Structure 1
Amino acid sequence: MRVADREKTAERLLKSSAEKFYDPEVDIDWSAPLVDGLFYIPEQRISLYGTPLYDSLTHEQRIELSKHELASIASVGLWFELLLMQMLVKVVYNTDPTTRHAQYALTEVADECRHSTMFARLVERIGCPAYGPVKHTHRLGKLLPVIGYGPAMYGSILVAEEILDRLQREAMNDETVQPIVRMVNRIHVLEEARHVRFAREELLRGMDDLRGFEKPYQKWLIGFVSMMITRAIINPEVYAAVGLDVREAHRQALANPRFQETIRWSGERIMSFLQEAGLVGKPGMRSWRRSFLIG
């Protein structure tokens, strides 16, 4: 019965993917001019918003900082999409390719390839570096497709996707944000809804299959990966773009109650789901608190 349910869900998602998908090369006008005076993320979501350092910036510097923070978010999102694709391919490697389940996983990989290209084009279009995560996080990321499996793997995917999803849903409806950014956000939000459905159902099935001794590892892994994700979103090097001391700006950002609240707000829906699923708890609680997803 569970196999039949999984196949039925995959069949629906395959049909939805065939009926509605976007090609960023065609559906986004990359030559459209950027609009003077508009932010690149909502101002209140800038990591330094509300700090003394932010108050010291001119309006133009604040817009410039928002541009570089967008570049960091997009390039970190791209980095995680690449890890996600590796994990999905590993699932297909061990699955009968004639099943709808395996075929939808491959369809999702195709979606993520387009999204990664879209994020790369966006960073290129706004003229910023592809910051990505800091070096030690980038190195650690290589381990995730190796050590990640089961509910923690799908849970990690959901944490990254749903945090980004909530930030993008807000930005795509904010007229103070650049039109090209809003379009990128809209495409990603519409297509990620299918991916979230797939990952949530796989996580719940995986929890039912876990043996008792595996649960502590799963709780530790998802807590640790979630902390790495939230700490990676804003690469500290973005602050140099507006002439700020990188270390001091990074310190103020991490201590900023508004930034911490942004992370908690963006993760509310997924944290509620993970808690109900039984994936939030010891030995992962130290990482969860450091992630800002739990107060």
Structure 2
Amino acid sequence: MSSTVAGSRSADEAEDVARRLLESSARLSFDPATEVDWDAPLDPAHHGLNPEWSTLYGTPLWERMSEEQRVLLTRHEVCSIMSTGIWFEMILQQMVLREQYAKDPSTAEFQFALTEIADECRHSIMFARACAKMGATAYTPPLTVRELGRIFKTVAVAEVAYASILVAEEVLDLMQRDAMRGENVLPLVRTTSHIHVVEESRHMRFARAEVRKRLDGAGRARVQASALSVAVVAYFIVTSMVNKDVYTAAGLDADEAVRAARGNEHHKAMMRSGAANLVAFLGEVGLLTRPAMALYRRINLI
């Protein structure tokens, strides 16, 4: 089959996916302003995320912590994760909008891309309100990462943009699927996680279709470069998810806690298990090159 025919088929498949996602969005979307009970008090016994997903769970330091500290830590950890989500969602919106600039507005791809941007706006506001409700300060990535993000959102296009979106959403998704079912997790977090998981599942399907379309017929050099670019983005996202200040907020020595978290084999195994579908997809489309895999191992996605 010629590359032209293959590319046409890939584009048609991506358009069909976008059309079905638009229909799904019309049937099942949420307004966090009304779906979340923002006025409900926070039960002091409920965690911010399942304790098993805490960066310190299973370490000697965790065993020394009081239950009150554990609850407080998980709340600040989830707020740090949400804050990182807001940061990347703002990058995502700009990349998607730039990708769709001056394209045919009659296509399902164009219309779903704008639907996704609208979803992400609501998600960012939802996460911001949730963090404020839990009393957390803004946990932003380090200044260097923020400035690199400015460059990335300006230059990232095609499969690099959409695969990076997929990586960010998959990493959040694997934690939130557990949180939305956790009986010892705050109802606030369970509800916001449920909304995000449902709507992001459409975004991830769209991103996968776009990655396949953009890589159809791509040469080896381009695939190698794109694979490494996406892995670098994944590295900065994962390493920025939990700000070291969350440990201070829980009354811990931040340096000791960071060392414990870095050596936490339980958390590393949780990350690898949760990232299995993402890694399989990256391998399927050729974005799991040797240099990329080395970076994914450093952040425990492989």
What TM-score, normalized to structure 1? 0.95
RMSD: 1.4
What is the one-letter code of the residue matched to 2:211? Answer: L
Deviations 1:61-82 (A, max 9, x none): 1111011001101111111111
**How do 1:127-276 residues align onto structure 2 when only pairs under 5 Å count?**
127-276=135-284
Instruction: Say which SS state the counterpart of residue 239 (structure 2) adopts.
Output: helix
What is the one-letter code of the residue matched to 2:169? Answer: E
Would the aligned equivalents of 2:49 and 2:78 in 1 still touch at CA under 8 Å? yes
Would you say 1:112 and 2:120 are equivalent positions?
yes
Would the aligned equivalents of 1:228 and 1:291 in 2 still touch at CA under 8 Å? no
1:83 — aligned with what? 91
Range moving further from structure 2, 194-203 or 3-12: 3-12
Give the Cα separation in 1 of the matches to 2:215 and 2:294: 22
1:43 — aligned with what? 51
Would the aligned equivalents of 1:172 and 1:182 in 2 still touch at CA under 8 Å? yes
Instruction: Say which SS state the counterpart of residue 130 (structure 1) adopts.
Output: coil
1:4 — aligned with what? 12
Give the Cα separation in 2 of the matches to 1:86 and 1:26: 27
Shift of 1:94: 4.9
Deviations 1:95-126 (A, max 9, x none): 22232211110111001000111000100111
Deviations 1:222-247 (A, max 9, x none): 11111111111111111101222222
Give the Cα separation in 2 of the matches to 1:43 and 1:6: 39
Would the aligned equivalents of 2:99 and 2:158 in 1 still touch at CA under 8 Å? no
Give the Cα separation in 2 of the matches to 1:233 and 1:204: 27
Report % sequence identity: 41
Give the Cα separation in 2 of the matches to 1:159 and 1:9: 19
Give the Cα separation in 2 of the matches to 1:100 and 1:244: 50
What is the one-letter code of the residue matched to 2:175? Answer: L
Q: How many residues were matched structurally?
A: 294
What is the one-letter code of the residue matched to 2:247? Answer: Y
Deviations 1:10-49 (A, max 9, x none): 2221122122211111111100111121111111111011
What is the one-letter code of the residue matched to 2:81? Answer: I
What TM-score, normalized to structure 2? 0.93
Instruction: Say which SS state the counterpart of residue 38 (structure 1) adopts.
Output: coil
Instruction: Say which SS state the counterpart of residue 216 (structure 2) adopts.
Output: helix
Range moving further from structure 2, 246-255 or 187-196: 246-255
